[in-house]
């Protein structure tokens, strides 16, 4: 360890050369002036820009964006968080969908396994006429596509007559 | 009759050069560019030097240093004062430089600054090069090139620690604060980086 330290001392002596590297003469005389000039130019160009408006109207959002600028690692963390949230949402949706399908399968009448929504809409008005039950569909036009689909005349549908 | 004191002898407490850093930050946050100019003046040399030693290119260091100060000004409203302005702006400059170096990868060329006159009178440096070539300035320039090439072979985090500690003379604590890591990480990176450098510069280091 002692030997290593001594060797590092030699390295440190060598690294001292870096301290003697200097920029061109007068370089720092106008460095801050250039920075301030660029800030002024940027302010003039960005006046009325989207970010400026965000900063004026929603300072909290501007501060939020500024965090990303200062700490780039936060961008990664934020993006990861969003991805996890999205994945969680997809997983929950898939789970809910599976649960609903199962529930529908359980509630289906085993005697009429092929009962569809369309047939339900046909039988509903019949039930309503017969016994005063609850009418599900009040739109007779919705029945028309059924006749067209199967090429059969609908018994509930009377063709219009224009004769006097 | 009492004589008036010389105006030049009395420091003006309201002049930016005599103000505390926290007061300058406060004023700059409200858009006072004179105050911000003073803040830039205070830290420009150290920030530039770090970026120059990291990039080994004067033009890149100049651009990065200017951009770091511009970004710091635009983000000044988010500066909470948890650390000093100096550490905070350093952190911005360091992050900016590391991102730049990742993009630059191997597409770089050396644009080294001149070595000042004092280097030729540094006994440690002269001891290292005296036996290499008879002309001192040629030997110094060759050593400068080798040294910068060796530094560029290190990874960015390792190079940053060597530059901040061994070249800039910052403490482990300050480096840990700037880089956002713990002191143990700084120490281990420094040890590893020195070992690497020792291997690259073996011909200049006495066994």
User: A24 or B136: which carries more pLDDT confidence?
Assistant: A24
- Cα B65 from Cα B9, distance rounded (Å): 34
Structural domains of chain B, count: 3
Name the 3-class secondary structure at B57: strand
The answer on B199 and B119 residing in a single domain is no
- Model confidence over A78-122: pLDDT tens digits? 889 999 999 999 999 988 776 666 555 555 555 444 444 444 444
The answer on B47 and B99 residing in a single domain is yes
CATH number for the domain harbouring residue B98: 1.10.1740.10
Q: What residue numbers bound the domain in which B126 lies?
A: 114-148
The answer on B207 and B160 residing in a single domain is yes
- Cα B147 from Cα B142, distance rounded (Å): 9
Helix axes A72-107, A59-70, angle to 10 degrees: 110
- Cα B151 from Cα B163, distance rounded (Å): 9
The answer on B184 and B160 residing in a single domain is yes
Band of the pLDDT at B175, cuts 50, 70, 90?
A: very high
H or E stretch at A21: strand A21-22
In a domain, B8, yes or no: no
- Cα B101 from Cα B55, distance rounded (Å): 7
User: B84 or B130: which carries more pLDDT confidence?
Assistant: B84
Whether the per-residue pLDDT at B68 is higher than 50: the answer is yes
The answer on B169 and B140 residing in a single domain is no
CB B32 within 8 A of CB B14: no
B124 and A CB contact within 8 Å: yes
Helix axes B58-74, B85-104, angle to 10 degrees: 130
The answer on B127 and B86 residing in a single domain is no
In a domain, B11, yes or no: no
- Cα B69 from Cα B88, distance rounded (Å): 11
| CB–CB contact A72 B125 (8 Å) | no
Q: Which residue of B has its CA nearest to A18?
A: B167
The answer on B91 and B141 residing in a single domain is no
Average pLDDT over chain B, rounded to an integer:
85
Count CB atoms within 10 A of the CB of residue B48.
Answer: 22
Give the nearest partner residue to A21 out of B41, B99, B144, using CB atoms: B144
Q: Of chain B residues 166-205, which have a CB less than 8 A from chain A? A: 166-167, 180, 194, 197-198, 201, 204-205
Domain boundaries, chain A: 30-70, 72-107
Mean pLDDT confidence for B35-44: 95
Residue B114: DSSP 8-state: E
- Model confidence over B71-126: pLDDT tens digits? 999 999 888 878 899 999 999 999 999 999 988 776 677 787 777 777 777 777 77
Residue B194: closest CA among A13, A110, A52: A13
Share of chain A above pLDDT 70, in %: 49
The answer on B201 and B135 residing in a single domain is no
- Cα B203 from Cα B59, distance rounded (Å): 30
In a domain, B5, yes or no: no
| CB–CB contact B40 A39 (8 Å) | no
Count CB atoms within 10 A of the CB of residue A9.
Answer: 12
A76 and B CB contact within 8 Å: no
The answer on B138 and B75 residing in a single domain is no
- Model confidence over A119-134: pLDDT tens digits? 444 444 444 444 444 5
ipTM of the complex: 0.80
- Residue B181 confidence (pLDDT): 93
Whether the per-residue pLDDT at B186 is higher than 60: the answer is yes
Give the nearest partner residue to A63 out of B77, B198, B201, using CB atoms: B77
Band of the pLDDT at B37, cuts 50, 70, 90?
A: very high
Q: What is the largest CA-CA distance in chain B?
A: 74
CATH number for the domain harbouring residue B191: 1.10.10.10
Shortest CA gap B180–chain A (Å): 10
Say how many Å lie between the first and final Cα of chain A, rounded: 117
Whether the per-residue pLDDT at A149 is higher than 60: the answer is no
Q: What DSSP string describes A93-144?
A: HHHHHHHHHHHHHHHS-TT-TT--HHHHHHHHHHHHHHH----S---GGGGH
Angle (CA) B193-B110-B139 rounded to 5° is: 80
| CB–CB contact B92 A70 (8 Å) | yes
In a domain, B13, yes or no: no
- Cα A8 from Cα B158, distance rounded (Å): 15
- Residue A116 confidence (pLDDT): 47
Beta bridge partners of residue B111, listed in sequence order:
B57
The answer on B204 and B134 residing in a single domain is no
Residue with tokens 């990303």: A68
| CB–CB contact A7 B113 (8 Å) | no
| CB–CB contact B167 A36 (8 Å) | no
Choose one of B101, B124, B148: the last residue of a domain.
B148
């Amino acid at each position: 360890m002692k030997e290593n330290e001594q060797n590092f001392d030699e390295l440190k002596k060598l690294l001292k050369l870096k301290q003697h590297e200097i920029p061109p003469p007068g370089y720092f005389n106008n460095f801050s002036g250039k920075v301030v000039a660029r800030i002024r130019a940027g302010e003039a160009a960005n006046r009325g820009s989207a970010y400026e408006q965000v900063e004026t109207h929603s300072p909290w959002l501007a501060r939020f964006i500024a965090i990303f600028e200062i700490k780039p690692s936060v961008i990664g963390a934020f993006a990861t968080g969003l991805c996890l949230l999205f994945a969680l949402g997809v997983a929950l949706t898939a789970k809910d969908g599976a649960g609903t399908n199962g529930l529908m399968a359980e509630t289906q009448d085993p005697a009429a396994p092929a009962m569809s929504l369309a047939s339900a809409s046909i039988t509903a008005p019949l039930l309503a006429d017969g016994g005063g039950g609850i009418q599900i569909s009040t739109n007779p036009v919705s029945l028309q596509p059924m006749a067209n689909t199967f090429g059969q005349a609908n018994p509930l549908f009377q063709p219009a007559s224009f004769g006097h | 009759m009492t004589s008036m004191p010389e105006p030049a002898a009395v420091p003006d407490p309201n002049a930016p050069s005599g103000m505390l850093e926290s007061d300058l930050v406060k004023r700059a946050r409200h858009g006072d560019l004179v105050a911000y100019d003073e803040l830039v003046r205070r830290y420009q040399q150290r920030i530039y030097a770090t970026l120059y030693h990291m990039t080994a290119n004067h033009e890149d260091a100049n651009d990065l240093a200017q951009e770091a100060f511009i970004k710091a000004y635009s983000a000044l409203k988010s500066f909470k004062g948890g650390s000093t302005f100096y550490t905070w702006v350093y952190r911005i400059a360091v992050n900016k430089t590391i991102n730049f170096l990742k993009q630059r990868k191997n597409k770089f060329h050396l644009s080294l600054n001149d070595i000042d006159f004092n280097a030729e009178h540094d006994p440690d440096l002269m001891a290292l090069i005296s036996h290499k070539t008879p002309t001192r300035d040629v030997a110094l320039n060759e050593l400068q090139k080798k040294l910068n090439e060796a530094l560029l072979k290190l990874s960015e985090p390792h190079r940053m620690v060597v530059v901040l500690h061994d070249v800039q003379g910052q403490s482990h604590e300050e480096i840990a604060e700037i880089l956002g890591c713990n002191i143990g990480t700084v120490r281990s990176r420094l040890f590893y980086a020195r070992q690497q450098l020792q291997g690259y510069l073996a011909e200049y280091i006495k066994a």
